[in-house]
A and B are shown apart, each in its own frame.
Chain A
Amino acid sequence: MAFDAGLAVLVLGVASWTIAARDTFAAVVGFVAYGLLLALIWVRLAAPDVALTEAAIGSGLTGGLLLGASARLRRTESLAVGEKPAAALRAATIGLCILVSAGLAAIILLLPEPAPTLAALAAANLVATGLGNPVTAVLMAYRAIDTLLEVVVLLLSLLGVWSLTPDHLWGSLPSPHYRADSYETVTFVTQLLAPIGILVGIHIFWIGSVAPGGEFQGATILAAMWILTMLSGLVDAPAVNRRWLRLLLIIGPVVFAAIGLAGFAMAGAFLAYPTNHAKLLILIIEVPVTLSVAAMLTLLVAGPPERSSHR
């Protein structure tokens, strides 16, 4: 209990720093720290799958994205100083936010006890899915349509990012060009870390059927390794009009939708699995989805195309 209180206070402190810091770069660093502490809270809430996702995507990838952006926008900091709102508006906003937080807190206290839960239903149907991890069962079986739509949402946001390319740069390479220098620390670390990271990513994806983990967590680690190799210059970013890249991006959702449609014939409904083959089918879906999601995450961090050659 004391540990929980301390952790909560720490998280709120770092979050306040993120809001109150003058320098945007410092605020983003605070945000990354907040994300990692939040992952600890998820562990305390007995949600290790979520903790993995929060640390990897919520803190890691989002932090990387925001750090890059804040570095590029450094010059605009001074321009914004004149736009800061008056003290009266700040005070009114503080009042509003305290009201909102207090209201929410009051509502939470009124939630029914004992809490309604779907845990029993989820456990009862777990055998039919052949899985050992109930969270994976929810994601890939009970509410598979949400996961399918989620992958489509990721793809769409990538499309949206790509749509922001200036017309003359269409089809070219995202992210600045990083030159590989074998004496640089980042190059050395990448050469050590990338193979291990890829193995870890594959393991976390694989183990997700019976233990905390799964395709999104594994995909994030694979994406992180790809980003690392791009940052160190060992591998160059792929051009967005490459056929192989397009196919890599869609293979996951296509297989997902195809097996979903095959469910009409095999088990009588869209996204239904025949009981004795459920685990195999889920695996067949998960492998390409992991690869596609890894590509989507990498390209989302890389951004829209901004240079036309490998120089």
Chain B
Amino acid sequence: MSGAMLYGFCSTVLVGLGLYGLIVHPELLRKILAFNLVGGGVFLLFGVIARRGAAIGFGGDPVPQALVITGLVVAFAATALAVALLLRLFQETGRAILQSDKLTDAPSDNSQP
């Protein structure tokens, strides 16, 4: 099982890395990327827990594995919505970052890329 524990630590580092990217990057697309890393880490942790639950000739506990599959699909749906929102925001404001102050004075750039 020590191989599984190794991947468990890998997952915690992924969560930390993703959290760093989420906070530090101003570009929204990088934030979305970093968020996917956090999600990957959490799912990996669930997978490690599944591996620890191996029994009855199964390589792992099937319940967490199935839940990770559901989670991966939901994460993709979230990414797709976030990307669409980001591209629309770019169309309306011409920038792909969130201003910390008001957005109302941003010049509108409606030209298609």
Contacts and interface: CB of A to CB of B under 8 A. Distances in A.
Given A18-B37, A160-B84, A150 B66 contact: no
Interface string A7-39: 010011001101100001001100100110010
A138 interface: yes
Given A41-B7, A97-B19, A150-B70, A134 B62 contact: yes
A119 B69 contact: no
Of listed A41, A89, A150, residue having the most chain B CB within 10 A:
A41
Contacts of B56: 119-120, 123
A46 B113 CA distance: 44
B26 A46 contact: no
Contact of B30 (A8, A27, A214, A306): A27
Given A31-B36, A100-B15, A138-B66, A80 B80 contact: no
Of listed B54, B67, B83, residue having the most chain A CB within 10 A:
B83
Given A157-B77, A161-B84, A117 B54 contact: yes
Interface stretch (A104-112, A177-185, A199-207): A104-112
Interface string B22-37: 0111110110111011
Interface stretch (A54-62, A189-197, A263-271, A276-284): A54-62
B72 A57 contact: yes
Given A24-B27, A44-B3, 18 more contacts: A5-B6, A24-B29, A31-B36, A38-B40, A45-B59, A50-B47, A53-B73, A101-B15, A111-B49, A117-B61, A118-B62, A119-B56, A135-B66, A142-B63, A160-B81, A161-B81, A164-B85, A300-B76
Interface of A: 1, 4-5, 8, 11-12, 15-16, 18-19, 24, 27-28, 31, 34-35, 38, 41-42, 44-47, 49-50, 53-54, 57-58, 61-62, 65-66, 69-70, 72-77, 79-80, 83-85, 89-90, 93-94, 96-98, 100-102, 104-105, 108, 111, 115-120, 122-123, 134-139, 142-143, 146-147, 150, 153-154, 156-158, 160-161, 164, 214, 216, 297, 300-301, 303-304, 306
